[in-house]
């Protein structure tokens, strides 16, 4: 895996080169590598391998496509601090095509994409932001006269890896909500094969950065779950690491926005928090280095499940979440009481028939019991009479 001492044994010229390129002291560079290794869940000592890869390996070419989206994923990346965007695209990766960030436009931009694909055939990383419309041969989204579906298939053909960033690219996101007139879908569905997905609206930029550095370090993308999400970021439910979990376990819930419980930081489960059914590392990896309260639950709003297919943009925001692996203790009042349905005429008649039969059986049983008791009394009296006659004869 590597040894930390290897970093400090590199030549002074190499160390100066690192400090000059990344504009960060060697110690801060090591902290950056350790943070990435920890984010990916790598064992101790892995930061050495990350550092070696960043300082020595050829920067991977990245082609970034935009389709049906709001550019929020790119905006999130712009606010990354470790490293900042300019360090990321100039020293860690080679961002050769990105419609929002590149200076070129029109035919020059398209030429840059094709040149990057040709020069790095089989080696570049394709990043897709936004859903892809499939209905009517994809005519509802075009770039440079080409449909989104044609562009993504062309670029994915020779890519070393395909990463879908954001919920829209991962599984359709907001554009795919009903009635979905353009037939929007995620990258995996459009290509007909699995891809690495980093869902979220927007996702944490460090999840994307960690996935790219994992590829840079080990020559392969990180281990993923059945939905293509890196397990280091989407392996645990938000509910498991939420800072309000203790209040949930203790039965302390905010009932309304602004009530006493809400102001004291109580659990937001009853207000519709989807943390119990959403997999992500939002509680443990803050956005934009602005503190750990810079995510919905941290600032008082329920999680909407934006990174979970079938939850985000599908379930009403204040609908109570489905508990996947834990439920409130039984002594707590239920969130929603189930209401019974009125009996139909047929069912009422059936119940009446059963009740009538039961009543009739009870009457017959009582009558039989009475007759049996009377017979027993008569037999007993007869026995006494026979005994008295015998005594008289003696």
Mean pLDDT value of segment 366-391:
57
Alpha carbon distance 362, 169 (integer Å): 69
Tell me the H-state helices in the chain.
Answer: 4-8, 12-22, 26-39, 46-56, 72-78, 85-87, 106-119, 148-157, 167-171, 187-191, 205-218, 231-234, 238-241, 245-250, 260-263, 345-393
Alpha carbon distance 32, 346 (integer Å): 71
pLDDT tens string 268-288: 999 999 999 999 999 988 776
Reply yes or no on whether the pLDDT at 334 is more than 90.
Answer: no
The strand pairing partners of 237, in sequence order, are 279
Whole-prediction pTM value?
A: 0.70
Reply yes or no on whether the pLDDT at 263 is more than 60.
Answer: yes
Q: Confirm whether 59-234 and 236-334 share one CATH topology.
A: no
Residue 8 is predicted with a pLDDT of 37
pLDDT tens string 107-117: 888 998 999 99
Confidence of residue 307 (pLDDT cuts 50, 70, 90): very high
Alpha carbon distance 312, 317 (integer Å): 8
Q: Does domain 236-334 have CATH number 4.10.480.10?
A: yes
Residue 93 is predicted with a pLDDT of 77
User: What are 104's two structure tokens?
Assistant: 């070129």
Specify the range with the lowest mean pLDDT, choosing from 56-65, 130-139, 205-214, 216-225.
Answer: 56-65
Alpha carbon distance 391, 394 (integer Å): 5
All structural domains of the chain with their residue ranges? 1-56, 59-234, 236-334
Quick check: 54 and 92 in contact, CB under 8 A?
A: yes
Specify the range with the lowest mean pLDDT, choosing from 56-70, 220-234, 297-311, 345-359.
Answer: 345-359
272 phi, psi to nearest 5 deg: 105, 15
pLDDT tens string 383-393: 666 555 555 45
Q: Taking Cα atoms as reference points, which of 65, 164, 167 lies closest to residue 117? A: 65
- Residue 252 DSSP one-character state: -
Confidence of residue 206 (pLDDT cuts 50, 70, 90): confident
Residues 6+ apart with CB under 8 A from 78: 85
CATH class of 59-234: alpha beta
59 phi, psi to nearest 5 deg: -60, 130
């Amino acid at each position: 895996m590597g040894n930390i001492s290897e970093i400090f044994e590199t030549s002074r010229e190499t160390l100066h080169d690192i400090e000059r390129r990344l504009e960060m002291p060697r110690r801060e560079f090591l902290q950056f590598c350790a943070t990435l290794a920890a984010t990916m869940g790598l064992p101790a000592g892995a930061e050495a391998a990350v550092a070696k890869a960043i300082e020595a390996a050829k920067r991977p070419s990245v082609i970034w496509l935009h389709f049906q989206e709001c550019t929020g994923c790119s905006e999130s990346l712009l606010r990354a601090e470790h490293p900042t965007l300019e360090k990321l695209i100039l020293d860690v990766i080679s961002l050769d095509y990105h419609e929002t960030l590149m200076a070129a436009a029109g035919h020059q931009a398209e030429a840059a994409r094709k040149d990057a694909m040709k020069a790095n055939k089989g080696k570049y990383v394709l990043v897709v932001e936004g859903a892809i419309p499939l209905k009517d041969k994809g005519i509802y989204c075009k770039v440079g006269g080409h449909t989104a579906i044609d562009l993504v298939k062309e670029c994915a053909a020779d890519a070393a890896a395909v990463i879908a960033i954001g919920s829209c690219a991962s599984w359709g996101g907001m554009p795919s909500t009903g009635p979905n007139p353009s037939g929007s879908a995620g990258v995996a569905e459009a290509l007909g094969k699995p891809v690495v997905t980093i869902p979220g609206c927007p996702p944490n930029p460090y999840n994307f950065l960690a996935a790219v550095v994992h590829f840079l370090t080990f020559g392969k993308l990180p281990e993923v779950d059945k939905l293509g999400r890196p397990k280091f970021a989407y392996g645990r439910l938000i509910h498991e690491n939420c800072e309000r979990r203790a209040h949930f376990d203790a039965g302390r819930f905010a009932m309304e926005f602004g009530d006493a419980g809400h102001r004291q930081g109580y659990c937001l489960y009853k207000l519709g928090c989807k943390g119990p059914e959403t997999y992500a590392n939002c509680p443990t990896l803050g956005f934009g280095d602005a503190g750990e309260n810079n995510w919905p639950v941290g600032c008082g709003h329920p999680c909407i499940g934006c990174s979970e297919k079938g939850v985000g943009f599908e379930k009403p925001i204040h609908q109570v979440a489905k508990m996947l692996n834990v439920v409130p203790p039984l002594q707590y009042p239920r969130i929603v009481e189930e209401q019974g349905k009125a009996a139909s005429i047929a069912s009422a008649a059936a119940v009446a028939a059963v009740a009538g039969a039961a009543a009739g059986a009870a009457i017959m049983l009582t009558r039989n019991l009475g007759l049996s008791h009377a017979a027993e009394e008569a037999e007993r009296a007869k026995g006494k009479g026979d005994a008295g006659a015998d005594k008289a004869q003696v």
